[in-house]
Amino acid sequence: MNDRIHLTLDEVHRIATEALGAQGFSERHARAIADTVTVAERDECASHGLFRIPFYVKALLAGNVSPDAEPTFRDLAPAVLQADAHLGFAPLTLQLAADPLERRARELGIAALAIVNAYNVAALWPEVERLAERGLVAFAFTAAFGYVAPAGGTRPLYGTNPMAFAWPRAGRPPLVFDQASSASARGEIQIHLRDGKPLPEGWAIGPDGAPTTDPATALAGAQLPFGGHKGAAIALMVELLAGALVGDVFSFEASEADTARVGAPFGGEFMIAIDPARCVGDGDRDAQLAHAEKLFARILEQDGTRLPSDRRYRARERTPTEGVTIPKSLHDTLRGYIDN
């Protein structure tokens, strides 16, 4: 453990905020990004924790990202709210969008959020979990850079295109899943590269189209969708929702436009929030949630199962008291951002 540094979650937040602030992000953006990085460390999602700070910094230093853009909001229809991130990173927009999106979902039963002009390298579970903690059902979709080959193809086209879903539970944290439509998130391949570990089979092909377990060859080639044509169809849907539908770019267009080598995907994010109480008759809300619990209980009756998000919630019981560890090399990088 000599090559790892122990941090409390407060220290995680502080070093992230200070590093981002020292490199030029406004206090509001630095705090919002630090919030998402800290909850990722808290939930032991290392590929979206402090590991991401150098991505934010490099993207900012490349010159296209706004360090201080204030998101603006516009009603496109009673149930469709547009948020323009004005070339800022997404976390601040997502934090500010939660209240107006919730209000519209409560009033109308269902509402959508169409984010445009955002840079995004974060996980999606924080935004859907935030809405489900308020009792809403939530979906989120975002595209990325063209990294993933279409089914049967050999060249990168789709993003790793995550989609997330959250379901509220009475007296418990929400059920949440958040998954890339590629066989792995790109950050996982970068972590395998950093740690000198081979990839599991089925994650990627090299530039020659042949399967590879070498992280560097995979990053130069193409990632594969999960589940062959089925994951590819999800990736396609995400491109359409987060790109064409909201009036923003597809993943391959984001890659082609990245002439400044920002290295952080740019584009749209689409969210849907549903008030479950508006989907059943009066007084049925308790029955609705209880019915869902029956399904969860049946899943958990089977050995070897767990619910999506339970791994994160178990980590969340430990890390506030035990803290987390990060590689010393990463800690040195973050200190360097602050001290130099």
Does 177 sit near ligand NDP (CB under 6 A)?
A: yes
47 carries an active-site annotation: yes
Verify binding: residue 125, ligand NDP, rule CB under 6 A: yes
Do 52 and 121 meet the contact criterion of CB atoms below 8 Å apart?
yes
Q: Which amino acid is at 264?
A: A
213 touches 199 (CB < 8 A): yes
Annotation marks residue 184 as catalytic: no
Interface with ligand NDP includes 308 (CB under 6 A)? Answer: yes
The only residue of 32, 39, 115, 123 in contact with ligand NDP, by rule CB under 6 A: 123
Residues 92-121 within binding reach of ligand NDP (CB under 6 A): 120-121
160, 223, 255, 319: which one binds ligand NDP (CB under 6 A): 160
Query: Catalytic: which of 18, 47, 66, 86?
Result: 47
Q: Beta strands 324-327 and 72-77: pairing type?
A: unpaired
**Would you state the structure tokens that stand for residue 274, as one six-digit string?**
């549903």
- 148 or 330: CB nearest ligand NDP: 148
Told to check if 162 binds ligand NDP by CB under 6 A, we report: yes
Q: Quick one: 5 or 254, whose CB is closer to ligand NDP?
A: 254
Q: Taking a C-beta distance cutoff of 8 angstroms, is the pair 204, 218 a contact?
A: yes
Q: Is there a contact between 183 and 225 (Cβ–Cβ < 8 Å)? A: yes
Interaction of residue 17 with ligand NDP, rule CB under 6 A: no
Q: Which is nearer to ligand NDP, 105 or 254 (CB)?
A: 254
- Which residue, chain included where needed, has tokens 């989907």? 279
Q: How far is the CB of 278 from ligand NDP (least distance, A)?
A: 26
Q: Among 185, 232, 236, 242, which residue sits at the site for ligand NDP (rule: CB under 6 A)?
A: 185
Report which residue type is found at 132.
Answer: A
**Strands 211-212, 172-179: pairing kind:** unpaired
The DSSP code for 143 is -
Strands of the sheet containing 80-84, edge to edge, are: 72-77, 80-84, 110-119, 266-274, 137-142, 163-169, 172-179
For ligand NDP, the binding residues in 263-282 under the rule CB under 6 A are 265
* Contact between 318 and ligand NDP per CB under 6 A: no
Q: Report helix, strand or coil for 217.
A: helix
**Phi, then psi, of 304 in degrees rounded to 5:** 90, -5
312, 319, 324, 326: which one binds ligand NDP (CB under 6 A): 312
Residues that bind ligand NDP (CB under 6 A): 120-125, 142, 144, 160, 162, 177-180, 184-185, 188, 265, 306, 308-312
Residues catalogued as catalytic: 47-48, 188
